[in-house]
């Protein structure tokens, strides 16, 4: 639920502000944005959710989670076309 709220309220603002970087990287910066949203969700959730490690290690795990979330979104889009 927290991840959904972060994606609705925070992600659009961050995506808009980072649009030039996203265009320069041909959309690959979106993975970094998703990873940062996962890290923000983990921080807001406190003890309920954590991403192992600190610093760059934590960002690496968040990037892996970002890839998993992106792949899941693709599969959901295939299963339910027109719903997302």
- 56 found inside a domain: yes
pLDDT at 80: 87
Query: What is the rounded CA–CA span in Å between residue 35 and residue 19?
Result: 16
pLDDT at 15: 92
Stretch (H or E) spanning 78:
helix 56-79
Query: What is the rounded CA–CA span in Å between residue 54 and residue 27?
Result: 26
Reported as a single tens digit per residue, the pLDDT across 32-77 is: 999 999 889 888 888 666 676 676 677 888 899 889 988 988 898 8
- 48 found inside a domain: yes
- 33 found inside a domain: yes
Whole-model pTM? Answer: 0.76
pLDDT at 69: 86
pLDDT at 49: 67
Burial of 66 (0-12, 13-18, 19+ CB in 10 A): buried
Query: What is the rounded CA–CA span in Å between residue 6 and residue 4?
Result: 5
- CA angle in degrees (0–180, nearest 5) for 58-71-82: 135
Reported as a single tens digit per residue, the pLDDT across 15-28 is: 999 999 999 999 99
- 55 found inside a domain: yes
Domain that holds residue 35: 2-79
Indicate the number of domains in the chain.
1
- 84 found inside a domain: no
Residue 18 φ then ψ, to 5°: -100, 15
- 72 found inside a domain: yes
């Amino acid at each position: 639920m927290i991840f959904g709220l972060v994606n609705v309220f925070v992600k659009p603002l961050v995506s808009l502000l980072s649009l030039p970087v996203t265009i320069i990287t041909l959309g690959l910066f979106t993975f970094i944005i998703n990873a940062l949203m996962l890290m923000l969700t983990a921080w807001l959730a406190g003890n309920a959710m954590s991403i192992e490690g600190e610093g760059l290690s934590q960002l690496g795990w968040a990037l892996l989670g970002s890839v998993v979330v992106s792949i899941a979104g693709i599969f959901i889009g295939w299963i339910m076309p027109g719903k997302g």
